[in-house]
Structure 1
Amino acid sequence: MNKQAELRDWLIVLRTPRLGPVGLRELLSSAGSISQVLAQLQRQASSLDAKAQAWLKQPDEARIAADLAWLAEPGHQLLRCTEADFPPQLESVPQPPVALFVSGDASLLLRPQVAIVGARNATAAGQSTARTFANYLAQAGFVITSGLADGIDGVAHEAALDAGLATVAVIGTGPDRVYPRRHSGLSARMEAQGALVSEFPPGTAARADHFPRRNRIIAGLSLGTLVVEAGLQSGSLITARLAGEQGREVFAVPGSIHNPLARGCHRLIRDGARLVESAPEIVETLVPAARALGTELALRLERAPAIKAERGQAAAGGWRDDPEYQRLLEVLGHDPAALDELAERTGQNASALSSMLLMLELEGCIEGLPGGRYQRLPGV
């Protein structure tokens, strides 16, 4: 099957009403390919509800054509759970997504991330705190991940972008929609310098039940979640709870007992979240997890046949003896270079190269610089 036909099958299946990620993953596991899943669904359509039956019998070709047109645009792609570069962090989330629509740099999803979330009606002090933490964590090499909402989310995204660094927004609409609309400028900046991520197909409007679903992805992508300000009914507490349930670190900034937006953070701290007063505390806590993620990604990509064919087998001695890593260090030299430059010099694809760079950065061989550039450290 050619790639376009396979992509079409994915879109038809993903748009099938009432077919959730758990059921779809089970079908993929048993059927083996998306084309076989679609064929099985069509054979067994009578067991599905009326809307699913109608869709599978006659998919909206105009809608599918619009989806394909969106995916054909530069910087747009559909990351599928069957691919080697699908973020492995998401396998531990409740009802892990089957596919993600991405606008921007999808390789950022493979880098160590910290979620920064909080109140939409954040105070000036809370916004200042979020900005300070986001700037420091981004400079330390973490991708800032949040939900593009008003308040703390938006400030965290802006702080990373203003520093010339990357940020990821997981959104509760289709990847072609901006919510809230006032963040259209921020969204455009993120597409150019970061990534917008959604499990909802193009054209999907904002719905209240979409946002808790996107929160599980924010928590799942991130090594840790920082809550800056949150009321007792804040959706940020859902993200924090999901992060804790997934075994991720949860951090909370304390506040005044007279500030209603501090109460959610205080509850998290009472329930076991780490009280933090400075960003370096978060970096120190997450370095081991970031190193483990780098190792896991390298092994995952190395096991993938397509990636192996492009990179060649690693030597028995590990990455330090791998000629591809030595080649990357050689072409990197000591002058800053962007990912696309390195891809051109080495012939590696972006996903494999991103994993290799992450490993080298965590091992102290290279340094990530503003603007998505990398530089070999002296003495290496």
Structure 2
Amino acid sequence: MIYPPVGIRSIAINFPSVIRTNDYWRKNYPDLVAMAEEKSLSKVFSPADSTPSNQFEQVMTPYLKDPFRGTIERRVLGSDESSLTLEYQAAKNAIAAANLSPEEIDLMIVASLWPENILPGNAAFLAGQLGLRGAAWNLDSTCSNAMVALQNATALVRTGEYRNVLVVVSCTYSRFTDENDTLSWFFGDGAGAFVVAPLKPSQGILGSKIVNTSATCGTFYNELTMDAEGKPRMLIRAAKNTNRVLSETAVDYLRECCLGAVAAAGVTLEQIQFFAFNTPTAWYSHLCTQALGIEPERTINLYPYYANIGPMLPIANLYHGAQLGKIHENDLVLVYTVGSVSNAAATVMRWGDVALSTAPATSANLTDVLPKLVLV
């Protein structure tokens, strides 16, 4: 079936004001750093047995000597920031980059990990702030939020139901982790937005493959606790078998989705110019290039500078890939994401004339650190 050309028209990213380096924990939590190998982050990312037993564990091994598991910086919310403040600026910038007005946005899909309220999500609140009059929906697929929202937006524009769909994604993990838990070293915050609209002939989304990740159910979960002031607080926890489940399923999900997406698009992996993997760990990009048999130079690894920003990772990868000149108009691009207890997704697109908003001051200065972002 031949579909009308629809895809990403503009991209914006936005990060909170606080940049937290490893020295923050070395200075404020020296005992925690000294005992890191006995704590949660180490338990999640260590071999399930005494020696590495699969590709995930093999590429992880060089990072085991680092208590921070390859993280260098992470962006976290300041006292006056929230998922809504991050989303608002990203959404506003994406609309402006697309040279559109709020009145021209027919639909906004919002995927917040997590929203400011348990229910409802951020969509209606954000629509009011932006002055939108069209529909505003909430969506959830954890770390695959961006790709699932992209598939939905593309389908709706193709049918003619909507013309300009704004997708807004945020991740605010710092609200759900404690500084004195080493799992907090692994997480960062951020927001991104992109406009999905008709493009030039042959450009846009060519094929996708999405599968559920039910095998990861029970790995990461949320626990309702009480803080020091006796107020309820939700925290992210990891089950005892999380390391085994993640390492044993990673390559299978990757191959099934990526090979399925290129087949649906009628292309091959060799024809893809740029791969945007969601890099939830420092070694994940290496795992992907090794498992798919592609050259490391065809992707980038943002993890050391943003940490795990969940559903924001594919948006940041695409933004910086284009910003650094690694993606050009009409290039074939493959995006892959995997979310625990949700979906793994891959999408192949032919890159259009995508407008990029100005990068925020708290975004990594990747021009200076690019050599470190290519795994060899």
- Report if TM-score (shorter chain) is over 0.5: no
Q: Which has the higher contact order (CA 8 A, sep 6+)?
A: 2
Q: Which has the larger radius of gyration?
A: 1
The structure with the largest strand share of the pair is 2
Q: What is the TM-score normalised by the length of structure 2?
A: 0.29
